[in-house]
Amino acid sequence: MKFDHIIIRYGEISTKKRNRKSFVAKMRRHILWSLKDIPNVELTANRERMYIILHDADHKEVIARLQGVFGIQSLSPALKVERDIEKIKEAALYYMNQLSDPVHTFKITTKRADKEFPYVTNEVNHLLGGHLLRNIEGLKVDVKNPDFNLLVEIRREAVYLTGETVPGAGGLPYGSSGKAMLMLSGGIDSPVAGYLSMKRGLEVEAIHFYSPPFTSERSRQKVLDLAAKLAEVTGSFKVHIVPFTDIQVLIQQQVPANYSMTTTRRLMLRLADQIREKNHALAIITGESLGQVASQTMSSMFAINEVTNTPILRPLITMDKLEIIDLAQQLDTFEISNLPYEDCCTVFTPASPKTQPKREKVNYYESFVEFEPLIEKAIQNIETITVVPNQQTIEKEMEGLF
């Protein structure tokens, strides 16, 4: 007994009208990528659904991969059997027994597309239902509100059984919403913000501010490891590493300590906006959550946001820390984020940063400092790294050791 194909149902794309084609094409590309090392699987699509023809591939593995593809509402594995009532009975029992959730009540819905099949719809329902009731202890029929509805489709070439519905990732197909730049610090929040944005169809690249010697090689490595996790979504993930030391040093020298954080954030945002423009993205994503730290109070965001009118997406803005940690654990980024290395956000934090900074004041302090040459220099010296999942980030000469 083996599964023949998997039915893929579109999520919100099905509400799209003229753009649907491009949405489906993006999703198709993502699906093909996620299954690329499984030989022989075949993808067919129509307006309503896609089908993965398994050709002996393990359906559980395929489903697990597909659950990482955005835009899929749900998945159903389907069995294919000969048009022999005994074989169909056997298959029905097999299907019921492999379900992951326990089923107490069921019904059978038969679609008899081939009218030449020797049993009529009701006969099939009764024969299969009786077989299941005899063989599964404690199972009951409930036609109104069953735990499980077994769908049997009798066609000329074969009989198909399905009914199990596995939830997909939801969201919109990757890349269907355009591109945005994620400010990736190495903390717990920003990778989650990046993932949620990708789920909503955004193509995401990251920006990381790197300040040696104030932050170590390890914190940079940590960001690349996080990027490698995010790369699992689509196979690769770009990180722009911005040398930030000179600017941070200048801020420390020129701006009063309690405003240094506000200015630092404003400069990061200015740099991020320039990088966004160069890379043809339309938004900046941050992992900010309202009130979490001094830079994420409403007054701080008001003062910091002043430097750009580019949309800033804050997917986590209303989430509590514990909710974010939950998501980070699901994404497997929590362990990496939690490593205790100094990052660009923690080193220069003053003892008491302003939680209610004023635009006028920060503008006044910044007016004495010439940041432009340093910004230009930083932009010129950006290092762009494309990270792939499970990347062996070790050097060439280390490779043979394993």
Partner 1 sequence: MIYLDNSATTKPYPEVIESFVKVSTDYFGNPSSLHGIGTQAEKLLSTARKQIADLLKVKSAEVFFTSGGTEGNNLAIKGAALANQNRGKHIITTSIEHPSVMEAFQVLSEQGFAVTYLPVDATGRVSVVDLEKALREDTILVSIMHVNNEVGSIQPIAEIGELLKQYPQILFHVDHVQGIGKVDLSLIDAGIDLCTISGHKLHGLKGTGVLYIRQGVRIAPLFSGGNQEGQFRSGTENVAGIVALAKAMRISLNNCVLYAHKLKEIRTVFYHGLQEIDGVQVNSPVDGAPHIINFSVPGLKSEVLLHELETEGVYVSTTSACSSKKRTASKTVLEMYRNQERAESVIRISTSFHNEIEEAKQAIDAIGRAVAKLEKVMR
Binding-site members are: 183-184, 208-209, 265, 287, 296
| Binding of residue 216 to partner 1 (CB under 8 A) | yes
Q: Find the part of the chain contacting partner 1 (CB under 8 A) among 15-23, 96-104, 198-206, 393-401.
A: 393-401
Give the largest CA-CA distance in the chain.
90
| Binding of residue 335 to partner 1 (CB under 8 A) | yes
| Binding of residue 346 to partner 1 (CB under 8 A) | no
Site for partner 1 (CB under 8 A): which residue of 218, 270, 358, 359?
Answer: 218
Q: Locate tokens 């730290």: which residue?
A: 293
**What pairs with residue 76 in β-bridges?**
7
**Can you say which residues are annotated as belonging to the binding site for ATP?**
183-184, 208-209, 265, 287, 296
Q: Find the part of the chain contacting partner 1 (CB under 8 A) among 91-99, 194-202, 210-218, 286-294.
A: 210-218
Give the whole-angstrom CA distance, residue 337 versus residue 339: 6
How many residues at the interface with partner 1, by CB under 8 A?
15
Q: Find the part of the chain contacting partner 1 (CB under 8 A) among 92-100, 165-173, 355-363, 385-393.
A: 385-393
| Binding of residue 401 to partner 1 (CB under 8 A) | yes
Q: Find the part of the chain contacting partner 1 (CB under 8 A) among 26-34, 203-211, 214-222, 283-291.
A: 214-222
Residue 218 three-state SS: helix
Going across the sheet that includes 178-183, the strands are: 312-313, 283-285, 178-183, 202-210, 237-243, 383-387
Nearest CB to partner 1, comparing residues 185 and 215: 215
Phi and psi (nearest 5°) for 227? -60, -35
| Binding of residue 297 to partner 1 (CB under 8 A) | no
Question: Which among 219, 234, 235 has a CA at the least distance from the CA of 184?
Answer: 219
- Report the amino acid identity of residue 184: L
| Binding of residue 351 to partner 1 (CB under 8 A) | no
CB of 187 to partner 1, least distance (A): 18
| Binding of residue 58 to partner 1 (CB under 8 A) | no
Per-residue interface string for the shown chain with partner 1, residues 160-189, x marking contact by CB under 8 A: ------------------------------
Nearest CB to partner 1, comparing residues 84 and 332: 332
| Binding of residue 217 to partner 1 (CB under 8 A) | yes
CB of 137 to partner 1, least distance (A): 18
The residues, ordered by sequence, that sit 6+ positions from 217 with a Cβ below 8 Å of its Cβ are none
Q: Find the part of the chain contacting partner 1 (CB under 8 A) among 200-208, 217-225, 319-327, 349-357.
A: 217-225
Q: What is the 3-state secondary structure (H, E, C) of 58-74?
A: CHHHHHHHHCCCCCEEE
Question: Which among 374, 183, 339, 203 has a CA at the least distance from the CA of 273?
Answer: 183
Site for partner 1 (CB under 8 A): which residue of 1, 143, 388, 394?
Answer: 394
- Helix, strand and coil content of the chain, in percent to the nearest 5, comes to 40, 20, 40
Q: Find the part of the chain contacting partner 1 (CB under 8 A) among 29-37, 145-153, 362-370, 390-398.
A: 390-398
C-alpha dist (Å) from residue 329 to 144, 178, 206, 372, 377: 39, 27, 20, 40, 37
Q: Which residues of 26-56 are buried (b: 16+ CB within 10 A; e: fewer)?
A: bbbebbebbbeebeebeeeeeeeebbbebee
Q: What is the dihedral of CA 385, 391, 393, 394, to 10 degrees?
A: -140
Helices (H), 158-290: 189-199, 217-230, 245-254, 257-278
| Binding of residue 330 to partner 1 (CB under 8 A) | no
Nearest CB to partner 1, comparing residues 64 and 257: 64
| Binding of residue 393 to partner 1 (CB under 8 A) | yes
Per-residue interface string for the shown chain with partner 1, residues 9-48, x marking contact by CB under 8 A: ----------------------------------------
| Binding of residue 221 to partner 1 (CB under 8 A) | yes
- Report the amino acid identity of residue 52: I
Nearest CB to partner 1, comparing residues 323 and 335: 335
CB of 211 to partner 1, least distance (A): 16
- Report the amino acid identity of residue 372: E
List contacts with partner 1 (CB under 8 A): 216-218, 221, 332, 335, 390, 392-394, 397-398, 400-402
